[in-house]
Chains A and B, each alone.
Chain A
Amino acid sequence: MNIFRGPSTLVLTINGERRKVVVEPHETLLDLLRSPQVGLTGAKPGCENGDCGACTILLNQKPAKSCMMFAVDAEGQDLVTVEGLVDAPVQRAFLDHFAFQCGYCTSGFLMAAQALLLTIPHPDPHQITEWLRSNICRCTSYEEILQAVREASER
């Protein structure tokens, strides 16, 4: 049985790099990622309540809301944040389709879309909608995002 009391050390993989981090058991994974020791601020706090998706990352290739997980729960797991995307087609497609305005939701949408395309390389519009309505964008009309993901899936 693992017990975490006070600051605890754990090992996990972030963007392909195995890292040792120190966390408090009450910290969420979002807290950890954004903390100075990891320093990945791409995942955003939008609600910290599981509602908006701005904090979405990949957890073992699946989409996960990092505000909805205890950091210690990520021990030994494989995480990818938006900073870990390198020339992903979905990034290019978001640029080409002007799929953001303020950009605050963008990391989360990109990661949800990336997770979708890893699981279903050629999703139909219904599947795109079903995966991406986990996220909220207050600026765009969603149309741009939908089109960007559709195009990324066709590349």
Chain B
Amino acid sequence: MTSVGVNVPRKEAPNKVTGRARYTRDLCQPGTLYGLLVPAHVAHARIRAVETSAAKGLDGVKAVITGDDVSFLTGDVIEDHPPLARGKVRYWGEPIALVVARDAATAQRAANLVRLHCDPLPVVNSVAEALSEHAPLVHDEVGSYTIATPPAAPRRHSNIADEANVTKGDCDQALRESDVVVTVHVSLPQIDHAAMEPRVATAEILADGRVLVVSSSQAPFEVQKLLAQYFHLHPGQIEVTAPLVGGAFGGKATVQLEILAYLASRAVGGHVVTLANSREVDMATSPVGMGLEADVVLGAASDGRLKAARLTFYLDIGAYADSAPRIARAIAAQCTGPYRVDHLHADVYAVYTNHTYTTAFRGFGHMPMTFAIERAMDELARKLGQDPLDLRQLNALAPGDLSPTKARLTSSNLGNLPETIQRLKPLIGWTGGAPYAVAPHRVRVQGVAAFWKTSSSPPNATSGAIVTMNADGSVNLSIGAVEFGAGTKTAAAQILAEALRIPVSRVFIRDEVSTATAPEHWKTVASLSTYMVGRAVLDAAQDVVRQLKSLAAVVLRCAPEDLDYGNETVFVRDDPTIQLKYADLALGYQYPEGDSIGGQIIGRGRFMIRHLNLLDQETGHGRPGPAWTVGVQAVEVEYDTETHQYQILKAATVLDAGRVINPAMAHGQVRGGMAMGLGIASREQIRYGPQGEFLSNQFRTYKVLRMGEQPDTYLVEFVTNPQVDAPFGARPLGEHGVLAIGAALANALSRASGLALNALPLTPEFIWQQRRTMA
């Protein structure tokens, strides 16, 4: 192979090092008007009025819209979300008005003149408060909302938006029969995606009725679908373009600004309006990542074999449901981690609070879920006096086992966890996990954690690819997956190049995606793009080859089966000198006499995910994704037992990649995920004030990892047991670096400090506080 398995530079890389790469905000056309959201500075209140007259009176202001002007509700599962606060404010930062003005400064001046008149309500400031007996209700009527995409089970007159359950065997009985039982309560704050490009959307309504939207979106086809639904338009009327996206991490897979930009444009007669989040609005007003409170009870035999698990997860989903029901089901379906547990009971509750609403975050719920399970696994290892890696290996799910939702696992759909564990040991220089002193008050220790993840995609997710051949035999590839840094486009080009046996440089691919020209691709999420797009590309490549051969067969007067291809030629298998160049066939073949046959080579390919189903609402049984990627992660830290400061010396990941399409990009994805996971575990946290005030809306208060704070050494290796139905066997790996590294850090620091550190972030103050509580 020449194009797959090699370090092909990103297709768009030269543009990115010259400032020529264009993101949504770089495409502003002359005459654009500026929209601005006015965030509420109260977390829970009944709205009496939103006063806009002063703002409207300002010179240069074109329109001011409030919730009074927008009567429909949005939400991709539960329709509970007014685009602009209506009747009630449910979180600090919720938009109460949308200003459209000549320029950004005027819009800001107008926004400062909007007044909210409201009656404050008691604030639901945590999951515990939401579930308490006489809790104020975030939504008065959860039961009355339309379920746009079942399943979802809102509980009437409560703050529970949805619940998912999984049951297997007899959990109570098995816990009673266990030799060892550990109980862990885990508490994780909401976090922010903090993509470096804040979200932005531009909308324009043309006179002919077409709607042009440009958005920093991971899901342009979803934008198209929902705009059509909410505004009663034909999907074909709506053209959504997603240029290069400046980081996404799940936060740009939901649809928010696009709806508001459309409303803004509609309010000004269809004029082009851009709506760009400031960092503050991006953090507090647009969705964040969910918080978690979890109770984990694990029962095991004295040899460490897991017998039972009782798991309860409460997700702090904030004020609106968004993707929470899907995420709740993803957590339920993978709730045990990559371990075999025959007796299981798991409940996952999506809980409304007066916090910023949440959406998918890199890992789709698997990161907080993994933290809970892996903390409990480490406590179990400590209690049993067992090597934590041995414990994980002993319990690893294997081909032939069933997943928690009774999906059958095979050597293709399940990566090989024991092999990754064996590979990790020499990689990090495994010490067994016991702390050892290196200086007065300073200890070193290693911590480990394992993960698994599947896509939890809808069972009808689809993807496509169109290949057109240029006159010189090079090809243009059109796909619907967005490029936000994961290298999706480059990987697709590599797969096509490999299949057509041409150099990657002969594949041309556009940076942006337009729903008007690209084939439908569900969403660029769930690390699924290489799998789905790759399969569609392979299908398209086959179509191209078939067309090349059938045209060449006519010209060369042979059967298509007599032909082979390579080196940009189609040739007769037993006499390769009888050949035609791709270039000779690309736009049809012209005989020396001038008459021609064929026509342009246009390959089309498509792929639809198969054999998935929605989890049964009663039993929770079902098949949540095509395959599970597995891996194990470790950190080595040096910890000061007096000041509770620590340094991360090493961080390691071994995962079963099936097959690596682009090693440099794959390592980069995994390392980047590890850096993000370590940042989340060590410092990231959205803080709310006593009245639900959003306190962490800038990088001054929402701290992310910077250079110098990364581990001294990153160690990443792949084992390669192919997933047979994936392109070249490649398993998804885009999100996975983030999944268990935080748990590994917590496990390391728990061992170093002798405490059970079950909450994030792991600041020295938090450790100090745990120590004080113990004393």
Contacts and interface: CB of A to CB of B under 8 A. Distances in A.
Do A and B have CB atoms closer than 8 angstroms in the complex? yes
Interface of A: 24, 26, 34, 36, 40-49, 51-52, 54, 81-83, 85, 91, 94-95, 98, 100-107, 110, 128-130, 132-133, 135-146
Contacts of B245: 102
A137 B706 CA distance: 7
A98 B9 contact: yes
A56 to B, nearest CB: 12
A82 B244 contact: no
Report the contact-size class of chain B (Cβ under 8 Å from the partner): 35 or more
B12 A141 contact: no
Nearest to A92: B17
Nearest to B103: A24
B183 to A, nearest CB: 35
Contact of A101 (B22, B276, B669, B700): B669
Given A41-B22, A133-B707, A138-B704, A104 B698 contact: no
Interface stretch (B328-336, B428-436, B671-679): B671-679
A94 to B, nearest CB: 5
Given A51-B698, A51-B699, A95-B13, 15 more contacts: A26-B105, A43-B19, A44-B25, A48-B279, A51-B700, A83-B19, A83-B20, A91-B17, A95-B9, A95-B14, A102-B247, A102-B248, A107-B19, A130-B708, A135-B706
Contacts of B15: 103
A44 B244 CA distance: 13
A49 B706 CA distance: 16
Contacts of B674: 141
Interface stretch (B161-169, B484-492, B533-541): B484-492
Contact of B676 (A94, A104, A138, A146): A138
A141 B18 contact: no
Contacts of A133: 706-709
Interface string B275-290: 0101100000000000
A47 B698 contact: yes
B681 to A, nearest CB: 15
B665 interface: yes
B235 interface: no
A92 B128 CA distance: 53
Contacts of A101: 247, 485-487, 668-669, 672
B642 interface: no
27 contacts: A26-B105, A41-B19, A41-B26, A42-B20, A44-B197, A45-B276, A46-B198, A46-B279, A48-B278, A49-B698, A54-B196, A82-B17, A94-B17, A95-B9, A98-B9, A98-B664, A98-B665, A98-B668, A100-B16, A100-B17, A101-B486, A102-B196, A138-B704, A139-B247, A141-B675, A142-B707, A143-B714
A43 B10 CA distance: 21
Contacts of A91: 17-18
Contacts of B9: 95, 98
B246 interface: yes
Contacts of B198: 45-46
B500 to A, nearest CB: 25
B279 A47 contact: yes
B594 to A, nearest CB: 46
A103 B21 contact: yes
Contacts of B194: 138
B720 interface: no
Contacts of B20: 42, 83
A155 to B, nearest CB: 15
B741 to A, nearest CB: 11
B565 interface: no
- Ranked nearest first, the 8 interchain pairs of A and B with the lowest CB-CB distance are A42-B19, A104-B246, A101-B485, A102-B485, A103-B16, A82-B19, A141-B671, A51-B699
Nearest to A144: B668
A141 B706 CA distance: 9
A130 B707 CA distance: 8
Contacts of A106: 16-17, 21
Contacts of B196: 44, 46, 52, 54, 102, 104-105, 136-139
Interface string B216-254: 000000000000000000000000000011111100000
A141 B704 CA distance: 12
B710 interface: yes
Given A46-B279, A94-B17, A103 B672 contact: no
A24 B710 contact: no
A103 B698 contact: no
A140 B279 contact: no
Contact of A81 (B7, B19, B247, B698): B19
Interface in B10-52: 10, 12-23, 25-26, 28, 30
A43 B21 CA distance: 11
Interface in B576-607: none
A91 B671 CA distance: 21
A119 B701 CA distance: 31
A48 B675 CA distance: 24
Listed residue (B30, B664, B672) with the most chain A CB atoms within 10 angstroms of its CB: B672
A102 B244 contact: yes
B699 A40 contact: no
Contacts of A136: 196, 699, 704, 706
B377 to A, nearest CB: 26
A95 B36 CA distance: 37
B195 interface: yes
Contact of B699 (A52, A95, A103, A143): A52
Given A52-B196, A129-B708, A103 B244 contact: yes
A82 B26 CA distance: 14
A91 to B, nearest CB: 4
Nearest to B31: A36
Nearest to B665: A98
